[in-house]
Structure 1
Amino acid sequence: MELSRGLENLPVTVWPPLNEPLAFEYSPDHVTAEGGGPDPSEITLPGCNCHSPSCLPSMCACLHYGENYNNLCINCEGNGLDFSKPIFECNTMCQCGEMCQNRVVQRGLQFKLEVFKTTRKGWGVRTLEFIPKGRFVCEYAGEILNFREAYRRIRLQSSSDSNYIIVIREHLSNGQVIETFVDPTYIGNVGRFLNHSCEPNLIMVPVRIDSMVPKLALFAACDISANEELSYDYSGRYSNYFPFKKHEKLQEEEESKKTCYCEAKLCTGFLPYDRSLFCK
């Protein structure tokens, strides 16, 4: 079975082949939710005037914050990945060539991925080939929601339901916080099957191309071997919350605790939990 039905650059296979994940509509890109949310397909960012095959940071308006990629890899700082600065790729309005070095996420899948049945975690995703550190792997694409719609959908879930809704918070230098709500439950891509790990091999980075609605791009945080399961930290490691046991916490927090089966040495024991969607 080919999960993406030809919508990706490369086929996304399923194992075992006779099994099929729960039905959903495959979309390699974000879509607008019926319940309300910004339109991710609207072109709102201006393009650069670089009439060259590839852009240079000193001349390109899209590279205002410096070079984003080096040989298709997100720029590294020391031994880690530099995702502290905003990333804007060249877009539809730009005058540069399609092979510009500042066009990476928009090229789509570059490695063969497979959705497979795990022992304890339901469905997961693994790579069928080696992925070098820093390379783009896939997006986490789905319906773009506003807070009200995200809150409504969360409240309709039971404790046994899988929650695919992710909240990305970007903190600007002026103190403003930009929130992006993505739900791939009904419409999404291969990223919806990625499992959590307390020691992940992927890192999620907001990348903007045509719109201020960011692509939630997942990059390799280390070299990843063929047949290795792909994972990222659902909490983002920063502003989300883990479950609490104290009696004064909301009842939803106790009910929402779910055991983590990542088997990492530093596993916290429970999946990350963002209580902001349970509070008005």
Structure 2
Amino acid sequence: MSSNSLVPFQDLNHLPSTSSPAPTPLIVPKSEPKLEPLDEALPSPPPPPPASAAEAAAELFSDYNRLFGLFQSNIPGVIHPNGAVSPLPDSHPDSLALVSVPDPQSNLSNVVVLTPRGATRKYQVRSSELVRIMDLKPEDELYFRDMVRKTRMLFDSLRVFAIAEDEKERRRDALAAHRRTRGDLRAAAIMRERGLWLNRDKRIVGSMPGVFVGDVFFFRMELCVIGLHGQAQAGIDYVPSSQSSNGEPIATSIIVSGGYEDDEDAGDVIVYTGHGGQDKNSRQVVHQKLECGNLALERSMNYGVEVRVIRGFKYEGSASGKVYVYDGLYKIIDTWFDVGKSGFGVFKFKLIRIENQVEMGSSVMKFAVSLRTRPLDARPKGYVSLDLSKKKENYPVFFFNDVDQDHDPVYYDYLVTTVFPPYVYNHAGSGHGCNCAGGCLDDCLCAMKNGGEFAYDLQGILVRGKPLIFECGPHCSCPPTCRNRVAQKGVRNRFEVFRSRETGWGVRSLDLIQAGSFICEYAGVVLTREQAQIFTMNGDRLIYPSRFAGCWKQWGNLSEVFSDYVCPEAPSVPPLDFAMDVSRMRNVACYMSHSSSPNIMVQLVLYDHNNLSFPHLMLFAMENIPPLRELSLDYGVADESNMGKLAICN
């Protein structure tokens, strides 16, 4: 990254050099975070006793006027909008805001001491230095995106791993009382202890490198891990006055989730209610004050500092009950103090979305809902077919093309699963399965084939990638609801094949897909090497499974966390010496685009036979994939005849 890309906020962080005053106690403001509806609310003080209307009005505005007056531009100790700086007097309570709090047992001044479960741990606290990153080169943008992608993948892998380990413990000791593990909290704690959180050394203002507008998160802690929003529960993220170089707090991001009754959200325009004054039932019971996050938003408005906006809303199927979508940058253009719906004073902030950004992710998700239910109303033109699969899949596969008149996909027979030669099913051992009539347990034969563990958690999420996964099959005694039957059940989402001016054919989902979820099978007609040579001579289009990149090694890779982690090597698979013909029959997977940083990976799976040489190519999500975002695979090395997916689809 070029040194010119990182621009410090000189006017907010650098005061004129002055002699250091005598040490005085550090003033730390009281924190009353703006809580989310589904979070555990903090205890609130009891409501004040009844008062007359005149007394209530006087009390309502007295604190606002007093605090607001402290931060006008003619008060010494602030940085004025024109860049001039007036130092704080020695007697001002925030004059020592730059003094860090020392650890009594260490010489380190920038260290917080935690004591989880009796063990003392230390980690570097988040920096208060404000910077903006600008004018990144394309290679820098790719670097940051890959870094965010890998960090999020590690978070998801750790979360699923923690839940799987907790489940094992409960099965081993069914009589003991166990508290269910919050996988997201455990994953975040482990990554923090090992210094794997991103953007801790700088507090980034504006766009976060590697994070795209529309990115979706299932857990608040994931926002903290990548630094997009640094508060695990509070809705306003800001540099407090105790850490700011000029003694004034500055806000950098907010979460809008309707947690306050006075919030108004019109998409591009938001009226955001400040924090404080609510009880555990999210009811306003006391007046808000111009302090902490409220004051930070006012100061950001004064200095013209934009804030990142993340929207949170309930989402069916989410492990946390909600999803969080990054919707881009907003400017705070106005603030006022008003009487809220509950009769108590609240601070309100009007935000307007900055122009020339891509469409808001929350708007895209709403549009995807309309496509799922009323596609022809949402898009009157462009749909060629509302089901390429002709009802062969669990859900219809839409076909959309508003670019040209190419309707090529409708002329192929749709193939739901791969067609293997008959002799594959005659392989020794193909007629044996597990005897788990009531449901598969730890001693299940199929689990033993997978190294003594189940490949999926109870929600069907892949725990870790492996060279090969054995699912229960037609010869097993377990019911269809068995947890070890995931990929064989077919697609769970609604997909759309579409035409792009840039990349030709592509595939996107109309549903939100969680990382680790099954997508679909990459289906074709299996050919031997000899047959493939003949078909190639005839100009047929073939896929060579051995050339797909081994991205499965990245999912569940915990080598950065556990020093003794070893990438799974069993069950071993012989070289995949076969090709798949997709020149006449194919499924939705054949239209997925190539990417060296894909969001989909190939995982080999066996379930209907035990011939290791002919596994199914099952596709799983490597990250959370928002609706209408293109799905991509790493097809690896193209063959010498330039056949393969790119020739098929473009």
Q: TM-score range by the shorter chain?
A: 0.7 to 0.9
**CA-CA distance at 1:108 after TM superposition:** 0.5
Opposite residue 156 of structure 1, the aligned amino acid is: N
Say if 1:141 and 1:189, in contact at 8 Å, map to a contact too. yes
- CA distance in 2 between partners of 1:145 and 1:19 (Å): 29
Structure 2 residue 594 is the aligned partner of structure 1 residue 209? no
The residue number in structure 2 matching 1:68 is 455
The residue number in structure 1 matching 2:619 is 218
Opposite residue 83 of structure 1, the aligned amino acid is: K
- CA distance in 2 between partners of 1:175 and 1:112 (Å): 32
Opposite residue 456 of structure 2, the aligned amino acid is: Y
- Per-residue CA deviation, residues 154-180 of structure 1 (Å, 9 max, x unaligned), is 2333xxx8x442233799888943434
The residue number in structure 1 matching 2:493 is 111
Residues 153 and 5 (structure 1), Cα distance of their counterparts in 2 relative to 1, 3 Å cut: same
- CA distance in 2 between partners of 1:188 and 1:155 (Å): 20
- Per-residue CA deviation, residues 235-277 of structure 1 (Å, 9 max, x unaligned), is 1xxxxx468xxxxxxxxx4x7399x8xxxxxxxxxxxxxxxxx
In structure 1, runs of 5+ residues without a counterpart are 77-81, 236-240, 244-252, 261-280
Opposite residue 216 of structure 1, the aligned amino acid is: L
Structure 2 residue 502 is the aligned partner of structure 1 residue 120? yes
Q: 2:417 aligns with which of 29, 46, 56?
A: 29
Residues 242 and 24 (structure 1), Cα distance of their counterparts in 2 relative to 1, 3 Å cut: closer
Q: 2:545 aligns with which of 159, 167, 188?
A: 167
- CA distance in 2 between partners of 1:27 and 1:42 (Å): 23
In structure 2, runs of 5+ residues without a counterpart are 1-384, 551-568
- State percent identity of aligned pairs: 32
**CA-CA distance at 1:94 after TM superposition:** 0.8
Opposite residue 50 of structure 1, the aligned amino acid is: C
- CA distance in 1 between partners of 2:643 and 2:412 (Å): 25
The residue number in structure 2 matching 1:276 is none
Residues 257 and 15 (structure 1), Cα distance of their counterparts in 2 relative to 1, 3 Å cut: closer
Say if 2:532 and 2:542, in contact at 8 Å, map to a contact too. no
Q: 1:48 aligns with which of 434, 441, 447?
A: 434
| Structure with the bigger percentage of strand | 1
Structure 2 residue 466 is the aligned partner of structure 1 residue 83? yes
The runs of at least 4 aligned residues of structure 1 exceeding 4 Å deviation read: 37-43, 169-176
The residue number in structure 1 matching 2:407 is 20
The residue number in structure 1 matching 2:443 is 59
Opposite residue 401 of structure 2, the aligned amino acid is: P
Structure 2 residue 584 is the aligned partner of structure 1 residue 186? yes
The structure whose RCO (Cα within 8 Å, separation 6+) is larger is: 1
Matches within 5 A, 1:136-175: 136-157=518-539, 163-168=541-546
Q: What do you get for the CA RMSD once the two structures are aligned?
A: 2.9
Say if 1:40 and 1:144, in contact at 8 Å, map to a contact too. no
Secondary structure in structure 2 of the residue aligned to 1:13: strand
Opposite residue 446 of structure 2, the aligned amino acid is: C
Q: 1:130 aligns with which of 497, 507, 512?
A: 512
- CA distance in 1 between partners of 2:532 and 2:635 (Å): 17
The residue number in structure 2 matching 1:272 is none
- CA distance in 1 between partners of 2:606 and 2:419 (Å): 15
- CA distance in 2 between partners of 1:98 and 1:68 (Å): 16
Secondary structure in structure 2 of the residue aligned to 1:153: helix
- CA distance in 2 between partners of 1:242 and 1:148 (Å): 19
- CA distance in 1 between partners of 2:522 and 2:544 (Å): 9
Say if 1:141 and 1:188, in contact at 8 Å, map to a contact too. yes
Structure 2 residue 615 is the aligned partner of structure 1 residue 234? no
Opposite residue 444 of structure 2, the aligned amino acid is: C
Say if 1:45 and 1:210, in contact at 8 Å, map to a contact too. no
Say if 2:470 and 2:606, in contact at 8 Å, map to a contact too. yes
- CA distance in 2 between partners of 1:154 and 1:97 (Å): 42
Say if 2:526 and 2:580, in contact at 8 Å, map to a contact too. yes
**CA-CA distance at 1:185 after TM superposition:** 1.9
The residue number in structure 1 matching 2:58 is none
| Structure with the bigger percentage of helix | 2
Secondary structure in structure 1 of the residue aligned to 2:583: strand
- CA distance in 2 between partners of 1:179 and 1:186 (Å): 21
Say if 1:166 and 1:183, in contact at 8 Å, map to a contact too. no
- Per-residue CA deviation, residues 111-148 of structure 1 (Å, 9 max, x unaligned), is 11000001132211111111000000011111011001
- CA distance in 2 between partners of 1:207 and 1:67 (Å): 13
- Per-residue CA deviation, residues 58-104 of structure 1 (Å, 9 max, x unaligned), is 2111112221111211113xxxxx223x2010011111111110000
- Per-residue CA deviation, residues 191-244 of structure 1 (Å, 9 max, x unaligned), is 111111111000001100112231110000111111011111001xxxxx468x
Secondary structure in structure 1 of the residue aligned to 2:532: helix
